[in-house]
Amino acid sequence: MSRRLTHTIYRRQERAAWMFLGPGLLLLTLFTAWPLVRTVYLSLTDYNLLSPPEWVGLENYRDLLTDAQVTNAFGNTVLYAVVVTPVTIALALVFALALNERFFARTFVRTAVFVPFVVSLAVVSIAFRFLLDPNYGLVTYWLSAIGLAPQQGALAQPHTAMAAVMLVGVWKNVGFYMVMFLAGLQSIPRELYEAAALDGANRLQKFRAVTFPLLSNQTMLVSILAAIASFQVFDQIKVMTNGGPAMSTETLVVLVNRVGINNLEFGYGAAVSILLLVLILILSLAQYLYFGRRQVRN
């Protein structure tokens, strides 16, 4: 085959590739890249929607460093992520290990654990808000029977409201991460367990020597996704507490909504959102580097 013919075929394949990639790249630019660039620009301005953006440079970012509401929202976000992320991952792994075994109605139980993930988080939050209502909530009634229900309801107390929204976050996402772990468990060769059994390994030793190391790829993916989801928590807080009581559940995303949308401080809200983006990027990179060293390559 001549060099000219080879070059012609290559150019045709290249044009065909760009034709297939073009629509996706256009949508990515319109709905991801451009909004990101626009947000960075707005974070450097004073913009209230009623007048043209006024350039202020890094003033919004300097204000972030001394703003008590940003410090409070940052602390609440970190608290939520530090608690919800490991709890969700641990429960997902436990469910995956249990539901990987054969038993009656296994498919039904798997479905029951996964179903909360496909239900709208806003709908779930409304349901839990009714369940935790101090007057007629079923969960409140059960807690009252053992003397643990707050008098004004869990969502009205600063020390219990965050725990309530954390509960919703764990309950909603654990099924999704369980499915990821199940996929990893089913890809582990049975011969490895048989070899470990011949060496006299018990269940715990099999988990430590075979299961957990070979789940490192799934663990890395689940950890990154769970951490990102925790830092972006919004729906259940907006529906259940709206950041209260006394801003005890206001996270960075809720703060962006309140400052940028409600108060029309678009420049300052954009600066807070950029801060959140940087935090997520740093966290994701740190997790990738940590788990990447333990990643199993086939």
Q: What would the pLDDT profile of 121-160 be if each residue is shown by its tens digit?
A: 888 888 888 888 877 777 777 777 776 666 677 788 887 8
In a domain, 270, yes or no: yes
pTM value?
A: 0.85
Is residue 54 in some structural domain? no
Decide if 140 is inside a domain. Answer: no
Residue 111 CB neighbours (<10 A) = 11
Question: Taking each helix axis from N to C terminus, what angle separates 68-99 and 266-292, rounded to the nearest 10 degrees?
Answer: 40
Inside any domain, residue 261: yes
CA 293 to chain centroid = 23
Rounded CA gap, 78 and 255, in Å?
Answer: 14
Which domain, by its residues, includes 250?
59-115+173-292
Give the residue ranges of DSSP H helices in the chain: 3-28, 34-42, 59-66, 68-99, 106-118, 121-131, 138-145, 158-186, 190-198, 203-206, 212-214, 216-231, 235-240, 252-256, 266-292
SS3 (DSSP) at 269 = helix
Provide the 8-state DSSP code for 154.
Answer: G
Total number of domains in the chain: 1
In a domain, 209, yes or no: yes
Is position 90 within any domain?
yes
The per-residue pLDDT string of the chain (298 residues; one tens digit each, 9 = 90 and over) reads 566 667 677 788 778 778 888 888 788 777 888 888 888 898 899 988 788 888 888 899 998 888 899 999 999 999 999 999 999 999 999 999 888 888 888 888 888 888 888 888 888 888 888 888 877 777 777 777 776 666 677 788 887 889 889 999 999 999 999 999 998 888 888 888 888 888 787 888 888 888 888 888 888 889 888 999 999 899 889 989 888 888 889 999 999 999 888 888 889 999 999 999 888 888 888 877 776 665 555 4
| CATH number of the domain bearing residue 70 | 1.10.3720.10
C-beta pairs of 32-40 under 8 Å, 24+ apart in sequence: 39/270, 39/273, 39/274, 40/270, 40/274
Instruction: Say if residue 134 is preceded by a cis peptide, omega within 30 of 0.
Output: no
The whole-angstrom separation of Cα 94 and Cα 215 is: 13
Q: What does residue 89 show for φ and ψ, rounded to 5 degrees? A: -65, -45
| Nearest-angstrom CA–CA distance, 227 and 239 | 21
The DSSP-derived string for 169-216 is HHHHHHHHHHHHHHHHHHTS-HHHHHHHHHTT--HHHHIIIIIHHHTH
Average pLDDT in the chain: 85
- The neighbouring-strand residues paired with 45 are 55
* 53 occurs within a structural domain: no
Look at residue 150 and tell me if it is in a domain.
no
